């Protein structure tokens, strides 16, 4: 979902040190500045590259947001490719942080993964090593109490944070950050809004917690919707529907996902999108999935 993606990148670009220190588990790391995110011969940019230092040692912090349901092997190949290209360009050690947005609550918040891809020569082989950051491994109160403030809008991504009391507490905590300007606080509230929606909280309910008037003070909020309007926002709507159905049901049949993504009728897609925003449980999600499954691909407004 585009708004979700833009929200994550906004936080990273404005507060990279908080992301990197939390992901590395090292509050002493200093961020010296951003590095280009584009890498030659790659089909996409990485989400973030930063020159960092700890004492006299300089490194590259390479950050990826893991959005897709992807095997660890495929993920490691993507990370390894980026590491090699970054090392070729920067000639510095690479610390890769993968923020897993689909983690499991029973898994640790921080865990290093090593994936060998070369043959052994004695005791050594080529391998990819990265740190996985799993916010689902945290309770929302733990994140609010112990994580850097820039991460507070991500509370709905914790194992128990997609609920009213958590969102209200974070809203109040953001508004209390008087060191930030009104506009920046509004941007952080917009991130909280988008993330809560992506985690399946109905828009009508979230709107009662974070007023639209306050959100309209956010440049991020306005830019997301302006961009979405210019593009018809069909892809964003489709991915939101799928994400909400998966959040409520656990899994969604591939044929239904393909039908949602392939629908060109914006009126029908908008109807399904609005229905999805009001889904609050598995039964409601199943009813919507059945409606989508039975719908004609030539259907207009239901």
In this structure, the answer to whether residues 133 and 9 fall within a common structural domain is yes
Residue 254 placed within a domain: yes
Burial class (CB within 10 angstroms; exposed 0-12, middle 13-18, buried 19+) of 8:
buried
Q: Which helix (H) or strand (E) holds 283?
A: helix 282-294
Beta-carbon count within 10 A of 179 CB: 8
Work out the angle at residue 197's Cα, subtended by the Cα atoms of residues 194 and 201, and round it to the nearest 5 degrees: 145
Residue 301 placed within a domain: no
CA dihedral of residues 52, 100, 6, 202 (deg, nearest 10): -150
Terminal CA-CA length for the chain: 24
Cα 118 to Cα 56, 95, 98, 127, 158, distances in angstroms: 32, 20, 22, 7, 35
Total domains present in the chain? 3
In this structure, the answer to whether residues 162 and 264 fall within a common structural domain is no
Residue 1 is predicted with a pLDDT of 56
Q: What percent of the chain has pLDDT over 70?
A: 92
Give the domain range for residue 47. Answer: 2-137
Between 130 and 3, whose confidence is greater? 130
Q: What is the SS3 assignment for 215?
A: helix
Given 212, 229, 246, which residue is the final one in a domain? 229
- Tokens representing 62? 């390479």
216-240 average pLDDT score: 73
177-201 average pLDDT score: 92
Q: Report which DSSP code applies to 273.
A: H
In this structure, the answer to whether residues 254 and 184 fall within a common structural domain is no
**Per-residue pLDDT tens digits for 109-142:** 999 999 888 888 877 888 899 999 999 999 999 9
In this structure, the answer to whether residues 83 and 133 fall within a common structural domain is yes
Residue 17 is predicted with a pLDDT of 96
* Mean pLDDT estimate for the chain: 87
Work out the angle at residue 160's Cα, subtended by the Cα atoms of residues 206 and 191, and round it to the nearest 5 degrees: 40
Residue of 86, 89, 288 whose CA lies nearest to 97: 86
In this structure, the answer to whether residues 155 and 262 fall within a common structural domain is no
């Amino acid at each position: 979902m585009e708004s979700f993606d833009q929200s994550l990148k906004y936080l990273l670009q404005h507060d990279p040190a908080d992301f990197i220190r939390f992901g590395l588990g090292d509050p002493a790391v200093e961020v010296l500045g951003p590095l280009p995110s584009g890498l030659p011969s790659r089909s996409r940019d990485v989400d973030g590259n930063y020159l960092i230092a700890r004492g006299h040692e300089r490194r590259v912090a390479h950050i990826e947001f893991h959005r897709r349901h992807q095997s660890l092997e495929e993920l490691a190949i993507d990370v390894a490719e980026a590491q090699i290209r970054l090392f070729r360009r920067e000639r510095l050690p690479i610390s890769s942080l993968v923020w897993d947005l689909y983690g499991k609550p029973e898994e640790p918040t921080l865990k290093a993964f090593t994936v060998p891809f070369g043959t052994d020569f004695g005791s050594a082989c080529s391998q990819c090593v990265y740190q996985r950051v799993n916010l689902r491994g945290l309770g929302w109160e733990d994140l609010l109490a112990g994580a850097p403030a820039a991460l507070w809008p991500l509370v709905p991504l914790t194992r128990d944070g997609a609920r009213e009391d958590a969102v209200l507490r974070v809203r109040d905590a953001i508004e209390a950050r008087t060191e930030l300007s009104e506009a920046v606080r509004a941007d952080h509230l917009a991130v909280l809004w988008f993330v809560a929606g992506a985690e399946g909280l109905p828009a009508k309910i979230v709107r009662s917690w974070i007023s639209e008037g306050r959100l309209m003070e956010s440049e991020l909020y306005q830019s997301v919707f302006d961009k979405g309007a210019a593009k018809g926002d069909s892809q964003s709507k489709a991915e939101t529907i799928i994400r909400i159905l998966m959040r409520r049901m656990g899994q969604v049949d591939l044929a239904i996902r393909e039908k949602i993504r392939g629908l060109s009728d914006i009126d029908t897609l908008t109807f399904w999108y609005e229905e999805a925003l009001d889904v609050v449980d598995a039964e409601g999600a199943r009813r919507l999935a059945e409606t989508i499954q039975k719908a004609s691909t030539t259907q207009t407004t239901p």
